[in-house]
Amino acid sequence: MMKQAIILAAGEGQRLRPFTVNRPKTMLAVADKPIVRYVIEALSQNGIRNIVLVVGYRKEQIYDAIGSGEQLGVDITYVTQEKQLGTAHALAQAVDVAEDEFLVLPGDNLIVADTIARFIDEKPGALLVKRVADPSRYGVVAVQQGIVQGIEEKPGEARSNLVNTGVYAFNKEIFNYTGSVLDIPEVLNNMINEGHEVNAVETDGSWLDVVYPWDILNLNEEVLDHVEPAVGGTVESNVFLRGQITVGKDSVIRSNSYLSGPVIIGSGCHIGPNVCILPGTSIGDNVVISSFTEIKNSVIGNDVAIGPGCIIEDSVIDEGCAIKGHLTACSGEGEVKVNGESHSVSYGVMMGEDCNVSGNVVIQPGTIVGNYCQIHAMKLVGGKVPDRSLVY
Partner 1 sequence: MCGIIGYIGEREAQPILLNCLNRLEYRGYDSCGVAVMGDSIQVFKDAVRVKALEKTLPKLAGTAGIGHTRWATHGEPSPENAHPHCGCKGKVAVVHNGVISNFQSLRQQLAHEGHTLLSETDTEVIPHLIEKYYNGDLVKAVGRALEDVDGSYAIIALIEGETTLVAARKDSPLIIGVGDREYFIASDVPAVLDYTSSVIYLEDGDLAVITPNAIEVTENGVAVHREEHKVLWSVEDAQKGGYQHFMLKEIHEQPRVIRDTLKQYITAADLNADSAMTGSDGLEDLLVLACGTSYNAALVGKYLIEELAEVPVRAELASEFNYCGQISARNRVVVLTQSGETADVLRAVKRLNEQGCQVTAITNVVGSTISRLASQVVYTRAGPEISVPATKSFMAQLIALYWLALPYSRVDMRRLDNLIVGLRQLPAKVQQVLDNEEVIAECARYLSGYDNVFFIGRGINFPIALEGALKLKEISYIHAEGYAAGELKHGPFALLGDDTPVVVAAAPDKTYEAMVTGIKEVKARHSPVLAIVSEGDKNIGELADWVITVPEVETIFSPVVNVVALQLLAYYVARQRGCSIDYPRNLAKSVTVE
How many other C-beta atoms are found inside a 10 Å radius of the C-beta of residue 146? Answer: 12
Q: How far is the CB of 314 from partner 1 (least distance, A)?
A: 23
Residue 250 sits in the site that holds partner 1 (CB under 8 A):
yes
260 vs 122, 244, 263, 360, CA distance in Å? 42, 8, 7, 26
Contact positions with partner 1 (CB under 8 A) in 55-84: 55, 59-60, 62-64, 66-71, 76, 78
117, 322, 330, 391: which one binds partner 1 (CB under 8 A): 322
Residue of 50, 286, 297, 298 that binds partner 1 (CB under 8 A): 286
Q: Which is closer to partner 1, CB of 152 or CB of 353?
A: 353
CA dist 294 and 307 (Å) reads 11
β 384-385/139-144 pair status:
unpaired
How many chain residues are in contact with partner 1, going by CB under 8 A? 34
Q: What would the x/- binding string for partner 1 be over residues 334 to 353, using CB under 8 A?
A: -------------------x
Query: What H or E segment, with its residue span, contains residue 380?
Result: strand 380-381
Cβ atoms of 291 and 272 closer than 8 Å:
yes
**Residue 132 or 322: which CB sits closer to partner 1?**
322
- Helix, strand, or coil here: 300? strand
Question: C-beta of 10: minimal distance to partner 1 in Å?
Answer: 13
Stretch that binds partner 1, among 85-93, 146-154, 319-327, 337-345 (CB under 8 A): 319-327
State yes or no: residue 354 binds partner 1 (CB under 8 A). Answer: yes
Q: How far is the CB of 71 from partner 1 (least distance, A)?
A: 5
Whole-number CA gyration radius for the chain? 22
113 binds partner 1 (CB under 8 A): no
Q: 3-class DSSP state for residue 116?
A: helix
Q: What is the dihedral of CA 79, 55, 36, 365, to 10 degrees?
A: 180
**From CA 71, how far away is CA 55, in angstroms rounded?**
19
- Whether 271 and 290 have beta carbons less than 8 Å apart is answered as no
Residues that bind partner 1 (CB under 8 A): 22, 53, 55, 59-60, 62-64, 66-71, 76, 78, 249-250, 252, 267-268, 270, 285-286, 288, 302-303, 305, 319-320, 322, 353-354, 372
